[in-house]
Chains A and B, each alone.
Chain A
Amino acid sequence: MTDVLKNTLLFAAVGTLILLTGLMQSWNSALLILNMGLISAIMALGVNLQWGFAGLFNVGVMGFVALGGLGVVLTSVDPVGEAWAAGGIRVIIGLLAGAGTIVGAALVYQNLPAGRSRNLLLILVLLGGFFLYRAIFDPGVAAVETVNPAGTGFLGGLGLPVLLAWPIGGLLAAGAAWLIGKTALGLRSDYLAIATLGIAEIVIAVMKNEDWLARGVKNVVGLPRPVPYEIDLQQSASFVSRAEGLGIDPVTASTLYVKLGYAALFATVLLIIFLMAQAALKSPWGRMMRAIRDNEVAAEAMGKDVTRRHLHIFVLGSAVCGIAGAMMTTLDGQLTPGTYQPLRYTFLVWVMVIVGGSGNNLGAVLGGFLIWFLWVQVEPIGLWLMEMITIGMAEDNGLRQHLIDSAAHMRLLTMGVILLVVLRFSPRGLIPEK
């Protein structure tokens, strides 16, 4: 009973912090924090599945989140017919040729006896395949990218409802996770961490450079939304009268309404994923995962295929991160590959999991909200702090200027301190695993 009380109090405390933001700053910022908090909580759940339940060290969260974002563009944007006509088919065939090369090389490697002839053939297949791929692919890309480069210059998506993008984003992330997990977990010793670190950078590099895919650093803006547009609400007579009935001016009311709409959607997804994670944890499958984590040798002796189980949970956790990534891109309404930074999208999520409590889903959710709140609010607090410290100095004092300008960087420092303090004094997190 005390556990329930303590957890309720912890969540109430975080809720109060967000409410205070609403009262002291603005309800708009409070809802922004709430929405990103919901998304962060889902990311933290994904990482918690991997680290908390299976001890898998994923430092490529950013990559899976970004793939989720890519999923939104590929699903919800209308296809660019002209681009498809110009070189779409060619690009697809090129990609297939590339994939075929890799499959072919793998087949040669597996089916021929080791020796010089195999190596020779392998090099031949890889080189030939590579040049074939470039020969088909490059002109296609060039053709696609010349189609109205200022506006489109990419193939576009499928034109499906944006809500469908969330599961599809998850699937994209799961696919990448399967590939990387299959490779890295299959090696004689496990090299998952470096593999995820690498794949995340590659995903971002692809998204930045392959303009035909999602316009690269030119960004895709104006993505479809699952909620109404503010401007439409403000023009709707019934909305305006209702807002006035509540005593709020229609412009504010419309932004709040939109954000609340997102919050409701995100909360539903969080609830579903949370309940599924809880059910999985209590199911025989979850018990087995924890058995493997606590004693891999014994689990292996009992005939459990540990690598396969690890692959399962790695794919699942990454899919959850992908869904969260898709939701985030939907909330932003744009895909901006240049903004993905490992500190923000990988390591911050780790701080959420560790602070919340590794191995506890409720903890991960709490960590997601709390750390996101701090991430946002440390900056104004830091600025205020710096102003207090430098209050005695002259306006044009160099040190004062520097301190105030640097206040923005306080947030990284603070996150590090929080992580270290929690790890030291409450190593199992705010809501420890039972």
Chain B
Amino acid sequence: MSNGDYGDRGNKDASIANPRGSGEMRPSGGTGKEMNTHSAFLVGDSMTGGYGKSGPDILHDCTVAVDPGEIAVIVGPNGAGKSTAMKAVFGMLDLRQGSVRLDGEDITNLSPQDRVVKGMGFVPQTSNIFTSMTVEENLEMGAFIRRDDFTETMAQVYDLFPILREKRNQPAGELSGGQRQQVAVGRALMTKPKVLMLDEPTAGVSPIVMDELFDRIIEVSRTGIPILMVEQNARQALEIADKGYVLVQGRNAYTGTGKDLLADPEVRKSFLGG
């Protein structure tokens, strides 16, 4: 039975229980002790942990970091813990060791929502837009925590993603895959985050759309926002990366600039198909 004592016994009755939109996200506690082996603007430092208090460890002493103006990319084979590392940085994994710091401040013990307030923008891999709301409403919701006038930010987002301005009054659920991802990134940018985290932004889009998305991501990075992203398409991602982390089984296997990693024969052989 899932959910401990309050599971649904496999009931799928749509007339009484809404199957849609429930939250899966569970905030997790911190480690209780600090750790500082690395310095950067955003750093997930020597993280070890897994899901739940007693779940097996998925990350082992894993470190990822990004500095302003940079794009840092986490790559690796399937099941290497790429997305898990991202979730750990965002506070959705129970850490047993390590810490997360943003701009020098330890945020290891904060909930994901509080991290958003601190200036982290996160774009999940799936369900990353409000499908029943218009594009403009999606952006408004992105700016929910802001009490000031955000029309300027919205204009910037529209400048960055012109197609969204065109479709501003259309429900986001009716857009194409690539356009949805733009809405998702746009929504995250509305808080004017200090750092942007993208979990596989190109999953499930066509190669052409993928190239366009990468171009947009570079543009966002040029505005000075550091970007930490997880990518399935290692080669293309490393090409635009200032910093690359290759994870294997939850551990840092190789770290370097994107160019170095692309040139590294070991990395090429194991992960880039020669």
| Residues in chain A within 8 A of chain B (CB atoms) | 51-52, 54-57, 189-195, 292-296, 358-359, 427-428
Which listed residue (B1, B5, B6, B12) contacts A190, Cβ 8 A? B12
Docked-complex contact A52 and B5, CB < 8 angstroms: no
B12: chain A residues at CB < 8 Å are 55, 189-190, 296
Asked whether B13 is an interface residue with its Cβ less than 8 Å from the other chain, the reply is yes
Pick the contact of B16 from A194, A295, A427 — CB < 8 Å?
A194
In the complex, are the beta carbons of B13 and A358 less than 8 A apart? no
Instruction: Please give me the residue from chain A that is nearest to B2 by CB atom.
Output: A294
Distance, CA A120 to CA B14, complexed state (A): 32
Partner of A55, one of B6, B10, B19: B10
Tell me whether B10 and A191 are in contact (CB under 8 A).
no
Smallest beta-carbon distance B22→chain A, Å = 15
Q: Which residue of A lies closest to B19 (CB)?
A: A189
Q: Which residues of B contact A (CB under 8 A)?
A: 1, 5-6, 8-16, 19
B13 touches A190 (CB 8 A): yes
Which 6 A-B pairs give the minimum distances between C-beta atoms? Answer: A55-B9, A427-B5, A194-B15, A293-B10, A55-B11, A189-B14
Contact yes or no, A294 B1, CB < 8 A: yes
A189-B19, A427-B5, A427-B6 known; A56 vs B14 contact (CB < 8 Å): no
One of B8, B16, B19 near A193 (C-beta < 8 A): B16
| A and B contact pairs by CB, cutoff 8 A, 7 listed | A189-B14, A189-B19, A191-B13, A293-B9, A293-B10, A295-B10, A296-B12
Chain B nearest CB from A355 CB (Å) reads 14
B5 touches A192 (CB 8 A): no
Smallest Cβ-Cβ distance to A52: which chain B residue: B9
**What's the dominant secondary structure at chain B's contact region?**
loop
B residues in contact with A295, CB < 8 Å: 10
Interface centre among B10, B14, B16, B19 (most CB of A within 10 A): B10
A186–chain B nearest beta-carbon distance, Å? 13
Contact A57 B6 (CB under 8 A): no
Q: Is the CB of B10 within 8 A of A57?
A: no
Give the shortest distance, in Å, between A195 (CB) and chain B (any CB): 8
Q: Are A192 and B13 in contact (CB under 8 A)?
A: yes
- Closest partner residue, chain B, to A297 (CB atom): B10
How far apart are the CA atoms of A52 and B5 in the complex, in Å? Answer: 13
> Which chain B residues lie closer than 8 Å to A296 at the CB level?
10, 12
Identify which of A52, A54, A190, A427 contacts B14 (C-beta below 8 A).
A190
Measured between C-beta atoms, what is the minimum distance from B157 to chain A in Å? 36
In the complex, chain B residues whose CB is within 8 Å of the CB of A51:
9
- Closest residue of chain A to B16 (Cβ to Cβ) is A193
Best-surrounded residue of A51, A56, A195, A295 (most CB of chain B within 10 A):
A56
Cα–Cα, bound, A358→B258 (Å): 56
Of all chain B residues, the one with the shortest Cβ separation from A289 is: B10
Asked whether, in the complex, the Cβ of B19 is within 8 Å of the Cβ of A57, the reply is no
Known contacts: A427-B5, A428-B5. The answer to whether A54 contacts B13 by CB under 8 A is no
Contact, CB under 8 Å: A55 / B8: yes
Q: How far is the CB of B150 from chain A (nearest CB, A)?
A: 39
Note all chain A residues with C-beta closer than 8 A to B11: 55-57
Given the contacts A427-B5, A428-B5, A292 and B10 also touching, CB distance less than 8 Å: yes
Residues of A within 8 A of B8 (CB): 55
Q: Within the complex, which residue of B6, B10, B13, B14 is in contact with A294, where a contact is CB–CB below 8 Å?
A: B10
Residues of A within 8 A of B6 (CB): 427
A190 cross-chain contacts in B, Cβ below 8 A:
12-15
A358 lies within 8 A of B16 (CB): no
A68 to chain B, nearest CB (A): 24
C-alpha spacing A52/B10, complex, angstroms: 10
In Å, the complex CA distance between A416 and B9 comes to 22
Task: Assess the B16–A57 pair: CB atoms within 8 A.
Answer: yes
A211, chain B: closest CB distance, angstroms: 33
Q: How far is the CB of A426 from chain B (nearest CB, A)?
A: 9
> Least Cβ distance of A54 to chain B in Å?
7
CA distance A56 to B11 in the complex (A): 6
- Whether A54 touches B10, Cβ cut-off 8 Å, given contacts A189-B19, A191-B15, A194-B16, is yes
Contact (Cβ within 8 A) A359 B9: yes
* Contacting pair A57 B13 (CB below 8 A): yes
Given contact pairs A51-B9, A189-B14, A296-B10, enumerate 16 new A-B contacts (beta carbons under 8 Å): A52-B9, A55-B10, A55-B11, A189-B12, A189-B19, A190-B12, A190-B14, A191-B13, A191-B14, A193-B15, A293-B10, A294-B1, A295-B10, A296-B12, A359-B9, A427-B6
